[in-house]
Amino acid sequence: MLGRLLGAITGDAGQVRPEELGPRFQEALLPDEAVIVAFRTVRDGFALTDWRLLVMDRQGLTGSKAEILSIPYKSIRRFAVEVGGTAELEEELKVWDHGGEPVTLTFRRGGGAAMAAQAVLAQRLRGG
């Protein structure tokens, strides 16, 4: 119970089935595009597919408006995992494309999701 409450406050992201990201996310996928792994936060979600990173950013108080950001792997220049210290409650995966600012994906510390996401990302960028 406490873990769920902390997750709601800190932006807990955990691995989920792709369909749990909702119909808008499903509409963004190409007919033959395969989702390798998907993660959900309290309001947002993202997935690593066979050729891109898809990030859903729900906006507004109700979250009814959403932006879906698509970053093809060929555009990714670098990425980093920031793991928290003893007092930190979250970890981050940062992804840079041709633009200057990174896309930052936040995870609850200790769940293993940040490292799982970066492992898939590394594998896809390596060509695997």
Q: Tens of pLDDT along 41-70?
A: 756 889 999 999 999 887 766 656 778 899
Q: Tens of pLDDT along 85-125?
A: 666 667 889 999 988 899 988 877 777 788 889 999 999 99
* Whether 109 contacts 90, CB under 8 Å: yes
Sketch the domain layout of the chain as residue ranges: 1-125
pLDDT the model gives residue 42 = 59
pLDDT the model gives residue 43 = 65
Characterize 44-82 residue by residue with b for buried, 16 or more Cβ atoms within 10 angstroms of its Cβ, and e for exposed.
Answer: bbbbbbeebbbbbbbeeeeeeebebeebebeebeebebe
What CATH architecture is 1-125? Roll (2.30)
Tell me the whole-structure pTM to 2 decimals: 0.78
**Can you tell me whether residue 120 is helix, strand or coil?**
helix
